[in-house]
Homo-oligomer: A and B are copies of this chain.
Amino acid sequence: MSSLLVVSAHAGDFVWRAAGAIALATSRGQRAKVLCLSFGERGESAKAWREGKTLEEIKSIRRGEAESAAAVLGADIEFLDAGDYPLRESDELVDRIVRIYREVNPSVVLTHPLADPYNGDHPAAARMALQARVLAQAIGYDAPGEPLGAPPVFFFEPHQPEQCDFKPNVLLDITAVFETKRKAMECLPAQQHMWDYYTDLAKRRGVQVKRNAGPNLGLPHNTMGEAYVRLYPQVTGELA
């Protein structure tokens, strides 16, 4: 059975950037698993720090919010608590990710793009997600489970796409699950200004879905979208 693995640097990333893809997968009956390498406790929790919360309190809040959002989306979620700002790359952390690949055996992988001049944790997460995927493919790599196949990898959209050299080559129609994505976003009350921001972005990507699909497809006026970059060539039996 096919399944989706999302490798995310911080606890909130998967909601803003990939909740549509996750909800589509679970609505088709696929398993979806979100792997948060950190909670985003230092770099993406400015409000909580200004309120004087402690590190442990912030991690706990972020965990709770992300678990709620994952539940809305019907996804499993796991936290590696590897620390953020900076998220440190290490053999140990990569090895933990390899083991999760072997356990989940994903048919599709989502992660951050490889460039982000505004946030070094995002590319660090992506590099580890990609390295672990290759290691998990090798029968000689010492970890439980069967060698991984070659699941396609998609990068989800960063906050300032052009500055991250993010040129979408896949536009995903998420109209059918957008309400679910909105509910997942609303699980993160500390970032309420993001709810509308990412709703607007979904509209904008939806316009591009319609534009690139062509008027003949009869997509509805309120088509909503998410943008992705496919890393490896698509393998197909039909050009379409």
Contact = CB atoms under 8 A, between A and B. Distances in A.
A163 B236 CA distance: 17
A117 B25 CA distance: 26
B197 A207 contact: yes
A160 interface: yes
Interface string A202-235: 0110011101111111000000000110111111
Interface stretch (A64-72, A73-81, A164-172, A180-188): A164-172
B171 A235 contact: yes
Given A46-B139, A134-B119, A228 B238 contact: no
Chain A's interface size range is 35 or more
A29 interface: no
A140 B237 contact: no
A140 B239 contact: no
A50 B146 CA distance: 12
A157 to B, nearest CB: 10
Contacts of A141: 42-43, 85
Interface of A: 2, 4, 21, 24-25, 28, 41-43, 45-46, 49-50, 55, 58, 85-86, 88, 91, 94, 107-108, 110, 117-120, 130-131, 134-135, 138-142, 147-152, 154, 159-163, 165-173, 176, 197, 200-201, 203-204, 207-209, 211-217, 227-228, 230-240
Smallest CB-CB A-B distances: 10 pairs: A149-B214, A150-B214, A42-B140, A149-B216, A213-B235, A49-B139, A162-B167, A43-B138, A171-B233, A200-B200
